[in-house]
Amino acid sequence: MKTADIVVVGGGIIGISLAYGLARQGASVTVLDNAKGMYSASRGNFGLVWVQGKGLGMPRYAEWTLEAAEKWHNFSQELTEKTGNVIDYEQPGGFEVCLGEKEWSLRKSELEQLRDEFPGGNYDNQMLDRKQMQEYIPEMPLGENVTGASYSPHDGHLNPLKLLTALITALEETGAALDTDQQVESVAYRKKCFEIKNAKDSYYAKKVVLACGLGIKELAQQVGLNIPIRPQRGQILVTERTKPLLKYPFVTIRQTHEGSFMLGASHEEVGFDTETTLDQMRNIASHAVQTFPELSRLQLVRCWGALRILTPDAKPLYVESETCPGAFVVTSHSGITLTPLHVNLLPKWILEGDAPGGFEQFHLKRFDA
């Protein structure tokens, strides 16, 4: 029989972040993951720490994202000091390009809505026309279809694989257990205690956190929660390495620290299929080349499809079961961006019920209507 204060199911970025945060608060934590290869969201994502455009229709989320972005600088420094792992985090500000007039006016009205909704009203994203945009990146001539871009000084990027490695290293230093060969099959609530079972073992814990991405749906039902999440495929292309060309990350184009360009990602409703498709690869390449003709000569060396974990409004879901108190579900798209909050704020909620203000907005109840 194995016991822990808390069992976290899921060793992606969210599960590891929570476990690390919980362990730092002194809890004894065990993480169980089934390591199903490299196309989970945490390994197959784009690596943006992204604020602009987030939170339309839910100002608390816009705020939450901004709060995370503001914490990133210190958070990444601490993580590097602790583990010796560099994660290539940079926050130079970021762009989302507009191709054609229509995209520009659409983006502009979205931005205005976000600004109107934003609490306090100091929303500092802005629209740049083509000329203003080019001034930021004089060394990268814009394609003729580019009409401009939205810009936010809060946006940044990092290497998500290095982030995951650093967090795992930090977690292991706390003494918490991480077992990557454990497919959790059931979670049962018995006398204020949870029995978490896989093919080999049973774990007993006072609390259980389901942070296993698309695997949440099935397990959550066993603790009385009906979680509306679905997979959405994103395909990403990676080019050969080249000399530094682009200082700023774009939502769809960024140059990594290694020198390669990441391009993407598509948004496809194709269930659990992680294949790549030629038409999407073509679209992504064509978008990149239309934005920066300079990229045409770069070789594509890799591509993949990874699955987003989306709630109906694509915003985070933080919820504790009412029928089985002590069972938590944590899932979010943009799980990279939110990492500092997941490490620093969510553990208090899980351990002591001490939640940040306005936290109830991230509850399941928002989908009841």
Partner 1 sequence: MLKRYGKSRGKTVSIWFEGQPIQAHEGESVAAALLTSGVKYLRHAQVSAKPRAPYCWMGVCYECLLEIDGEQNQQSCLIAVKDGMRIFRQSSAAENT
Partner 2 sequence: MMEKTFDLVIIGAGPAGMAAAVEAAGHKLSVLVLDEQPEAGGQIYRSVNTTERLRPETYALLGDDYQNGKKLQLSFHQTSVTYLSGTVVWLVESDRTVHFLRNGSTNQVTASRLLVATGAQERPVPIPGWTLPGVMGAAAADVLMKSSGVIPSGKIVLAGNGPLLWLTASRLAEAKAEILAVLETINYSNYLRALPCLPQALLANEFLLKGLRMKSVVRKAGIEVLSGVTNLHAEGEEHLQKLHYTHQGKPRIIDVDTLLLHEGVVPNIQLSSQLGCEHDWYELQYYWHPVLDEWGNTSIDGVAVAGDVGIVAGAPVAEASGHLAGLDTAYRLDRISKKQRDDAAKFFRKKIKHNNAIRPFLERLYSPNPEILTPKEDSTLICRCEEITAGQIRKSVELGALDLNGAKAYTRCGMGQCQGRMCGLAAAGIVADTLGKSPREVGFYRGRPPVKPVTLAQLAKDENETIVS
Ligand X SMILES: Cc1cc2nc3c(=O)[nH]c(=O)nc-3n(C[C@H](O)[C@H](O)[C@H](O)COP(=O)(O)OP(=O)(O)OC[C@H]3O[C@@H](n4cnc5c(N)ncnc54)[C@H](O)[C@@H]3O)c2cc1C
Site for partner 2 in 272-311 (CB under 8 A): 276, 278, 281-282, 285-286, 288-289, 295-304
CA atoms within 13 A on the CB side of 311: 24
Q: Which does 48 bind (CB under 5 to 8 A by kind): partner 2, partner 1, ligand X, none?
A: ligand X
CA dihedral of 182, 168, 248, 101, whole degrees rounded to 10: 30
The answer to whether residues 248 and 293 touch, using CB atoms and an 8 Å cutoff, is no
CB of 185 to ligand X, least distance (A): 7
3-state secondary structure of 320: strand
Question: Minimum Å distance from CB 308 to ligand X?
Answer: 4
173 binds partner 2 (CB under 8 A): no
Pick 77 or 180: Cβ nearer partner 2:
180
Rounded to a whole number of angstroms, the distance between the first and last alpha carbons of the chain is: 43
Q: Is 321 in the site for ligand X (CB under 6 A)?
A: no
Instruction: Say which entry of partner 2, ligand X, partner 1, none residue 234 contacts (CB below 5 to 8 A, set by partner kind).
Output: ligand X
User: Applying CB under 8 A, does 289 fall inside the site for partner 1?
Assistant: no
Contact pick of 73, 257, 287, 366 for partner 1 (by CB under 8 A): 257
Q: What are phi and psi of 329, to 5 degrees?
A: -120, 130
Query: Is residue 240 near partner 1 by the rule CB under 8 A?
Result: yes
Instruction: Say how far apart CA 126 and CA 193 lie, in whole Å.
Output: 50
Question: In angstroms, what is the minimal distance from the CB of 166 to ligand X?
Answer: 15
Instruction: Give the closest residue to 177 by CA, choosing from 49, 4, 321, 312.
Output: 4
Based on the shown chain and the rule CB under 8 A, indicate whether residue 348 belongs to the binding site for partner 1. Answer: no
Kind and range of the H or E element at 188? strand 184-190
CA pseudo-torsion sign 283, 284, 290, 294: negative
Site for ligand X contains 48 (CB under 6 A): yes
Report, in Å, the least distance between residue 301 CB and partner 2: 5
Give whichever of 230 and 241 is closer to partner 1, judged by the CB atom.
Answer: 241
Instruction: Please tell me the number of Cα atoms within 13 Å of 294 on its side-chain side.
Output: 15
Q: Give the whole-angstrom CA distance, residue 51 versus residue 116.
A: 16
- Tell me the angle at which helices 160-173 and 13-24 cross, rounded to the nearest 10 degrees: 30
Angle at 57 (CA atoms; ends 248, 100), nearest 5 degrees: 45
Considering only the stretches 102-110, 112-120, 163-171, 213-221, report the one whose residues sit in contact with partner 2 under the rule CB under 8 A.
Answer: 163-171
Binders in 184-243 for partner 2, by CB under 8 A: 237-240
The contact set with ligand X (CB under 6 A) reads: 9-15, 32-34, 36, 40-42, 44-48, 50, 182-184, 211-213, 215, 234, 236, 265, 306-309, 331-337
The contact set with partner 2 (CB under 8 A) reads: 11, 33, 35, 37-38, 43, 161, 165, 168-169, 178, 180-181, 237-240, 258, 263, 276, 278, 281-282, 285-286, 288-289, 295-304
